């Protein structure tokens, strides 16, 4: 299999539009998308010595960009005090080595799955914010935090059957929200 080569002088002409279009669909903000593409090119330059040529130049840049998008959402999450976005990347000294490990094997979908899981997690979190406060709190305590039914019922002064009605309504609302925001 021939080794791929990096040609940073052609990155903007060859990949800027593609990377921008990829990013804008994920962040929905032109300025942020442009910044993330610029950061991707900069990171690519910084880690160019780690490029082993096992992946195409475009695939390698997309992998860097995906990580930049995750970092963007992680920053937003921590800034707003929301739940931390968890992504399990292999611990590597250099970004380029990590990227090569992930993109070298076309059957390794872990990096892409991590991004999809992160994006889905953010979509669920956004949909949870649209629920009435009490409904959201009860849903989170029961389904996410695994609180005991009796403890939740005592805290909110509700019956177990009322708890399950609230959980059912929350699930239905979340499913509808995800249909509109995530699955389209």
Count the alpha carbons within 13 Å of 68 in the hemisphere toward its beta carbon. Answer: 26
Distance separating alpha carbons of residues 19 and 16, to the nearest angstrom? 5
Q: What is the tens place of the pLDDT at every residue in 60-77?
A: 898 899 889 888 888 877
The pair of structure tokens assigned to 183 is: 């699955």
Residues composing the chain: 184
Q: What is the tens place of the pLDDT at every residue in 93-141?
A: 444 444 444 444 444 445 555 555 667 777 788 888 999 999 999 988 8
Identify the weakest region by mean pLDDT among 4-8, 52-56, 93-97, 119-123: 93-97
Identify the burial level of 109 via C-beta atoms within 10 angstroms of its C-beta, where 0-12 means exposed, 13-18 middle and 19 or more buried: exposed
Number of H helices, E strands in the chain: 8, 0
Q: Does the pLDDT value for residue 91 go beyond 50?
A: no
Four-point Cα dihedral 75, 81, 86, 90, nearest 10: 50
Four-point Cα dihedral 32, 27, 29, 55, nearest 10: 50
If you average pLDDT over residues 70-92, what whole number do you get?
Answer: 56
Q: Does the pLDDT value for residue 1 go beyond 90?
A: no
Q: What is the tens place of the pLDDT at every residue in 12-29?
A: 999 999 899 888 888 888
pTM confidence score: 0.45
At residue 88, the pLDDT reads 40
């Amino acid at each position: 299999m021939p080794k791929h080569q990096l040609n940073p002088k052609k990155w903007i002409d060859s990949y800027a539009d593609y990377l921008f279009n990829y990013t804008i669909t994920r962040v929905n903000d032109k300025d942020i998308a442009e910044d993330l593409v610029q950061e991707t090119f900069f990171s690519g330059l910084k880690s160019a010595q780690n490029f082993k040529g096992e992946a195409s130049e475009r695939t390698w840049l997309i992998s860097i960009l995906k990580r930049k998008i995750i970092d963007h959402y992680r920053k937003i999450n921590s800034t707003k005090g929301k739940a931390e976005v968890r992504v399990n990347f292999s611990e590597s000294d250099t970004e380029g080595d990590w990227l090569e490990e992930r993109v070298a094997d076309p059957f390794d979908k872990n990096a892409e799955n991590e991004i999809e899981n992160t994006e889905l997690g953010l979509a669920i979190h956004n949909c949870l914010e649209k629920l009435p406060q009490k409904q959201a709190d009860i849903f989170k305590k029961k389904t996410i935090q695994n609180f005991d039914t009796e403890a939740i019922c005592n805290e909110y002064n509700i019956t177990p059957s009322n708890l399950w009605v609230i959980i059912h309504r929350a699930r239905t609302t979340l499913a509808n929200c995800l249909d509109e925001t995530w699955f389209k």
